[in-house]
Structure 1
Amino acid sequence: MASRSSAEHKLWMRNFHPSSPGAPRLVCLPHAGGSASFYFPVSAALAPEVEVLAVQYPGRQDRRLDPPAESVEALADELFSVLDPQDDTPLALFGHSMGAVVGFELARRLEAAGRPLAVFFASGRRGPSRVRSESVHRRDDAGLLEEIKKLNGTDLALLDDEEMLQMIMPALRADYRLVETYQRGPGPRLSCPVVAMTGDADPRVTIDEARSWAEETSGAFELLVHPGGHFYLAPRQRAVNAQIAEYLHRVAPRTEAQA
């Protein structure tokens, strides 16, 4: 599958559970400050019918000594280089928050290389055409932590651990800078189906902003609204997993030869 070495592929893509032969592949991209382990429950729920690959960005956990990416585009380039565009396994992307933006740019690169996507799930993020001035990455540490606590996506006990903060703050700030300075460049719309997911009380994304993902594809579009805030998918994990599985079954069914 990998166009780079197997070791480098494993550095970027974490496979927590084995999958059945012919299973569709779902690449999951974390939020700002997030890591591959955020998607362990998704992998556990969907295996073995779906092969879940969770992306591990540089600058966190076992990659904390690797320099963070300089831009969304650079990060998408790196991820593209470890995915083989010649592999015909049904492929889907799921990105939450910052991961949705990275996933969008990765999808553009895959489609440009002739690698069709079964579906792109864009979660907890406005469409790229909706520009908003944001500067959380310029705040001091206290201001950045205030934003994290407001979104309620991190174990608050970790934020009270000074040693842990020293480890996570550089990557967190770099991620916020990366996504807040991103601007959609010129290029065609995606051709794959896009499913936007959002929480109805997300302080960072309005329903209309989530719906604007429809502008980014010439394919089918669906908006799924869940009760909850920016990290609605944690308490709604079972429902979200069921929707992912159901959609993949529709757009990437297993053939008799694969089963």
Structure 2
Amino acid sequence: MQPILKVEDVRKSFGAVQILKGVSFNIEEGDLVSMIGPSGCGKSTLLRCLNGLETIDSGAVEACGVRMEKKPAVSSESFAEAAHRLRKNVGMVFQSFNLFPHKTLHQNVMLAPMVVKGVGRDEAAANAERLLKKVGLFEQMDRYPINLSGGQQQRGAIARALAMAPKIMLYDEPTSALDPGLVDEVLDVMKELDAEGMTQIVVTHEMRFARDASDYIIFMEKGEIVEISDEDEIFENPKDPRTRQFLRRFV
């Protein structure tokens, strides 16, 4: 089976500060992968590179048949053009919910398919209702974001990303802005998507979720991948002393 996502020696700097130092890994279709590591290790930057929201200095990202690299060797397609094509198949959910405050939840979920894919209003409305039902928000569909809890807004953001029918979902700390009591309702949606075969990559500090739900875990430190392992092995028998040191507080 060909990987649905390939990351090849990706490097990224901001000014003189090198954030990613040659990151490489593959992800198979249907995997749920958690990326963990200390704050500032490059996890969120890497995630944004996977979606083309950050340009890369060197290396390449290939997802769903679309290849992004700084200077394409063969194709005349620019990085920005490739990123635009890739984002049609790769959805992203951020720490902040980023719902349009002047639109209802239903309208938020309808909007992108209509604007980007030219889907008709009736079809977009029916699909939005289906997705809001899927994430447990059908009864709140006519509410505005200000009248929703943080957990409801984040589930709405997931529904909005799913409305584009992505093949891969990326999450950047999706529960970090939530009260502890609301975390599980978001993580449960992600577990349901995993059960349905959705490929998902999650930057998270929720170690319980990472261990319970992940097919495998990527541990990063200082812009490098230190260890990639399945969820049981990395918690019970981490190979690298840096992984052991990081996980000591959680085990």
Please indicate the TM-score interval, normalised by the length of the shorter structure.
Answer: under 0.3
Structure-2-length-normalised TM-score:
0.28
Structure-1-length-normalised TM-score:
0.27
Larger relative contact order (Cα-Cα within 8 Å, sequence gap ≥ 6): 2
Larger Rg: 2
Query: Normalized per residue, which structure has more strand?
Result: 2
